[in-house]
Copies of this chain bind each other. A is one copy, B any other.
Amino acid sequence: MANKMGYLSCLDTVKPVRDAIEVINGKWKLPIIISVMTGNERFTDIQESIPGITPKVLAKELKDLEQHQLIKRVVIDDYPVKILYRPEPYADTLTPIIDALKGWGLNHRKKIFEKE
Could you tell me which A residues sit within 8 Å of B by CB distance?
A: 5-11, 13-21, 23, 25, 27, 30-31, 34-35, 38-40, 42, 44-46, 48-51, 93-94, 96-109
Question: Which residues of B sit under 8 angstroms from A7, Cβ to Cβ?
Answer: 35, 40, 42, 44-46, 48-49
Identical subunits present: 2
Bound CA–CA A49/B98 (angstroms): 27
Question: Which residues of B sit under 8 angstroms from A101, Cβ to Cβ?
Answer: 16-17, 20-21, 97
User: Are A13 and B93 neighbours in the complex by a CB distance under 8 Å?
Assistant: no
User: Are A108 and B23 neighbours in the complex by a CB distance under 8 Å?
Assistant: yes
Question: Which residues of B sit under 8 angstroms from A10, Cβ to Cβ?
Answer: 31, 34-35, 38, 40, 49
Q: Closest residue of chain B to A15, judged by CB?
A: B105
Given A10-B40, A38-B10, CB of A104 within 8 Å of CB of B49? no
User: Are A31 and B17 neighbours in the complex by a CB distance under 8 Å?
Assistant: yes
Bound CA–CA A18/B16 (angstroms): 22
Q: How far is the CB of A115 from chain B (nearest CB, A)?
A: 10
